[in-house]
Every structure is written in structure tokens, then in C-alpha cells.
Structure 1
Amino acid sequence: MDIILIPGLWLDASSWDDITPALRDAGVNPRPLTMPGTGASGSDSAAVGIDTWVDAVVAEIDASEEPVVLVGHSGGGNVAWGAADRRPDRVSRVVFVDTVPPPDGAQISEFPLSGGVVPFPGWDFFDDEDVADLDEATRLRTAPLTHSVPGKVPTDPIALGDDSRHRVPVTLLNGRMDEATFRAEISQWGPFAAEFEAIADAEVVRLGTGHWPQFSAPERLAQALVAAIRR
């Protein structure tokens, strides 16, 4: 089975390097992606938006002979859900790593622009609970692996139009919240709550990590991914 690994903002295919060996050992074929325009200049990536990223994942789905599992970390979750919306019959599961299925029209977030791109803002930019398990050595090792992303990607609304996506099984690998806590929390999130509740088969698994488990706890993340795939 192919498992397509979609990185979050500022990351590329190499961000999955610490977990791909364990996935191969489990008998699945990991296909980590680098999204279009990552690391490119503002002029070279001006036309790249969230639809471009979704198109890139759809092309990967179409290149697979069998249904695939999509894994989206952080903002990559929006991309994964957009691709599942386009190919619901070709996706056997979507796994969201510390993020949630977005409703139609949702954005990833807004970050400062520089020269038409969104540069990585540094680990100190994020909330303490998101980075608490990234020790200094890990931060020093991983910060140079980050890249700017096209300026439109974080703020472009995701376009969803096929309700068949709600029949695709979903696993949420949540950093801090167990299923009961998460369901209580998301019930307050308006359209996000409606989107989540519309999914016929959804589970929430607490990882007990910050926002970047592929860096802070790769073995735990790999085990959780394998368990989700085999569910």
C-alpha cells in the first residue's frame, strides 16, 4: 500500500526521513512529498496556491495502482482533505497529524510575508506547548531544513465540493488531546465541528507530543501511523 506523506508549511519530503524506514519495515510504501514552490522565490512561486498543492497530491493518487493512505501534517492536512475530496474513491484513509479536517473555505493560517513568500518564522514564534518537546539539539538540527512557502498557500481557502469525502475513514493523531477532550473542544469550532461530525468513521488518538512529532517522537509517530493504516 502506498502512503503519501504531505508535509506542513516550511517542510519538504526530508521532514519524514526519521519515520519512513519504520513504515517500510511494516510493509507499506511511503511516498514523502515536497510541495510545489517550496523554497522558491516570490516571483517564481507567485502563481502557486493551495489548489496547486492539492493538484500535486491528486497526481500522486492517480499514479498509484491501488487506493492510497494520505497523511497530512499541520497545514498539510488541508491539502490531504482537498485531495480526498477530489478522489474519495481512491483514498482508503486520511491521517491528520496534529491538525483537523477543514471545512470548505477554510485557510491554513496567516503568517508574515517577505518578498512574496512566507519564510519559516523560527521555533520561538510558536506557542510553548507546540514546541516544548523539541530540545535545543533538535531545533538546531531541523531549523536549517525549513524553507519558505509560496505566499498564497497559507491564506488560500480550500475548495471542497464532494460530500463523498465524509465516507473516507479518518484518523486524527492529536499531540495533546484524547478523543473525549478533542470532541468537546471541536464542538465549539463552528464549521470545523460540522465537518468533523459529518465524517462517518473518525477516530482520535493522543500522541502525547508537541506539534512536530516527526522530529520529537518519530518512533511513536511511525507506530501510530502503522496502527491507523492497519485499522
Structure 2
Amino acid sequence: MARILLVPGFWLGAWAWDDVAADLRARGDDALALTLPGLDPADDDRLDATLEMQAQAILDEIASDETVVVVAHSAGAAPTYLATDIAPLPDWDQLEADGNSLAGLDEVSLARFRERAVSEPTGIAAAPLRLSDSPARLAIPTTVICNSITADMVEQLRDAGQEPLFAELAEIDAEYIDLPTGHWPMWSRYKELAELIHTIANR
């Protein structure tokens, strides 16, 4: 039995697929037709819909642990193709290869992660960080809790001045604390992390 998501084109809602969906279900397939954001006449905000919202609606209907056949009609191909580009998470091997350590995460945590993750908006992920010349931010007490890499390594990268991600740390009088685990300590060592946060916050 195939899981099939039917995406309509311009001017159409899920109703456009009624006959096809019924036929597919009679053949034993799990067919679902989708009304994309902007095409529901009962939605008062429908004119505010974007292509990105339509792509996310498609992704929201697809569980990460299943194979889904997505059928797009006409202009429904645009949000469908965009959905393939902004899918929430790469596979675990790719995450590890990109430097996001999964150390300490059990299967339950990974399943919840995969189920609930959403794609980061391109406008946020690709935006440069622009800081003012005001020194006020440099006076804010800062603690860096180091997980995937050690505090010593963070300080070395900071002092080398060659990694843009660590450049600002050279300007800040920060404290560095090790909490050895992967990139997501809020799942892998949540008790220890909570204790550290509590201690630091209540100094």
C-alpha cells in the first residue's frame, strides 16, 4: 500500500482530486489530497499565503520516517519542488558529517527530533550577522557551555582569529565550561545542563 499525497494546482483545493483519491483508496493506497494555504475560501487570511507556506504545508503532511509519493498538478509543482529543497533534516550521517554531533542521543530522542523539526526560514539561515559599533554588548556577562568541542579548543579557535564563528568571542570576557556530549545537550545531558544553567543564573 502506497502513501500518496495529492497536491492541486492554481485555483484548486483538495476537492479537485476527489475522484482520483477515491480510486486510489479502492486500490488499497493511502491517498490524501491537500488544500494548499491560500486556496481555502474559508480562510480570511488566504491572500497572505506564500509559496514557502505552501511548501511547509506539504512537508507537514509527510512524516519523516515514511516513503511518500507526492503528485503535483500544474502550478502545484512549484511548492512541491520547494518542499524537497527545504525538508527539515538531512539524514543522521549527513548531520554528523556537517559537524553536528549526535553523541548521547538515544533512538527516542532521534525519533522526536525527526518528528518535530521544521526547516529554518532561508531569510534567517542565510542572513549575515550585522552588529553595531556599540560596546554595550561586550559588557554582558557571558558563559559558553562547550559540548561537541572542548573549552580549550573553543579558546584556541577564538585566539587564532581564523574562524568567523568564533571571532566575536575574542571581544568578550567570557567563561568557558565543558559539558562533554553532542550538539544537543538539552536531550543528551539535560540534567547536567539544567544544573549548570541554574548555577550560572543564580550566582
Give the TM-score normalised by structure 1: 0.46
Structure 2 residue aligned with 1:218, among 190, 196, 200?
Answer: 190
Count of residues in Structure 1 that have an aligned counterpart in Structure 2: 125
Q: Which amino acid in the other structure matches residue 124 of structure 2?
A: V
Matched, 1:175 2:141: no
Contact 1:176 1:209 in 2 (8 A): yes
What residue is the counterpart of 1:163 in the other structure? 135
Q: Which amino acid in the other structure matches residue 52 of structure 2?
A: S
Distance 1:144 1:130, change over 3 A: same
Moved over 6 A (4+): none
Contact 2:145 2:177 in 1 (8 A): yes
Q: C-alpha distance in 1, partners of 2:112/2:166?
A: 37
Identity %: 28
What residue is the counterpart of 1:43 in the other structure? 52
Structure 1 residue runs without a partner (length 5+): 1-39, 47-112
Give the TM-score normalised by structure 2: 0.52
Distance 1:216 1:134, change over 3 A: same
What residue is the counterpart of 1:196 in the other structure? 169
Shift of 1:194: 4.2
Q: C-alpha distance in 2, partners of 1:45/1:155?
A: 20
Q: Which amino acid in the other structure matches residue 196 of structure 1?
A: L
What residue is the counterpart of 2:159 in the other structure? 187
Contact 2:88 2:118 in 1 (8 A): yes
Q: Which amino acid in the other structure matches residue 122 of structure 1?
A: D
Higher helix share: 2
Q: C-alpha distance in 1, partners of 2:178/2:50?
A: 37
Kindly report the root-mean-square deviation, in angstroms, between the aligned alpha carbons of the 2 structures: 2.9
Q: Which amino acid in the other structure matches residue 123 of structure 2?
A: K
What residue is the counterpart of 1:121 in the other structure? 90
Q: Which amino acid in the other structure matches residue 132 of structure 1?
A: A
Mark the structure with the bigger radius of gyration: 2
Shift of 1:125: 2.0
